[in-house]
Amino acid sequence: MTAMFRLDGKRALVTGAGRGIGRAIAEAYAEAGAAVTLCARTEAEITAVAEALRAAGHQAEVLVCDVTDIAGFAAAIAARPAYDVFVNNAGTNRPKPLTEVSEEDYDAVIDLNVKAAIFAAKAVTGRMLDAGRPGSVINMSSQMGHVGAASRTLYCASKWALEGFTKALAVELGPQRIRVNTICPTFIETPLTKPFFEDKAFTDMVLAKIKLGRIGQVSDITGAAIYLASDASGLMTGSALMLDGGWTAD
């Protein structure tokens, strides 16, 4: 059974891999035996992670690319061998009431969380199809792709869109043995979210909704990411894996 969770011989691409959830997943994949490509805009961050992984005896390389550069990302993927696993993780949030949301806010959130995610998946799965090989696409969604929350109209809209996209793509690519699923975390402490938790009222609200009574850590995500990448989840596609501490249970 343990062998089913190994990723030996698999090529894995993780976007947004310089920090937070993306970095943790990339590190976990490398430790599970995958040859990992860390993708992000900031070269110094992903280079440091890749060098540390290689020093530990793992396989890791970098791809410096902005996924919102649709043509640039597609060209970079076309120039590389097909991947077996794709973690579509790059994303952002600009929490504020709708009355304060600007067109620039909309473009920033939707362009990255929806448009870039869709076209990144197109590029990576296109190479899988060209190579005639099965694969696993893991779209990083959120509990907010299943519920609503104040000051998160844009974010919820983007993640609900990603959930629908995931189900449709799973139907489309199932016959080619390419699986497509989402991971849906609750609030995870990362460099992106840490400033939010400096507000005690916000933290208290979050903890009141999370039935397990604690803020999530990136280590809470990696097991699920390995499961979805591995043969252990071979019959799972078009599904959402909830890692929300019970937020959406009521």
Residues assigned a catalytic role: 155, 159
Element of type H or E holding 176? none
| Alpha carbon distance 5, 229 (integer Å) | 8
| Alpha carbon distance 241, 203 (integer Å) | 24
Q: What is the largest CA-CA distance in the chain?
A: 52
Percent of the chain that is helix, strand, coil (3-state, to 5): 50, 15, 30
Q: Are 187 and 193 in contact (CB under 8 A)?
A: yes
The string of DSSP letters for 26-65 reads HHHHHHTT-EEEEEES-HHHHHHHHHHHHHTT-EEEEEE-
| Plot region of 34 (φ>0 → left; ψ -120 to 50 → alpha; else → beta) | beta
| Alpha carbon distance 38, 111 (integer Å) | 21
Q: Are 179 and 135 in contact (CB under 8 A)?
A: yes
Q: DSSP letter at 218?
A: T
Which tokens in the block code for residue 101? 């949301």
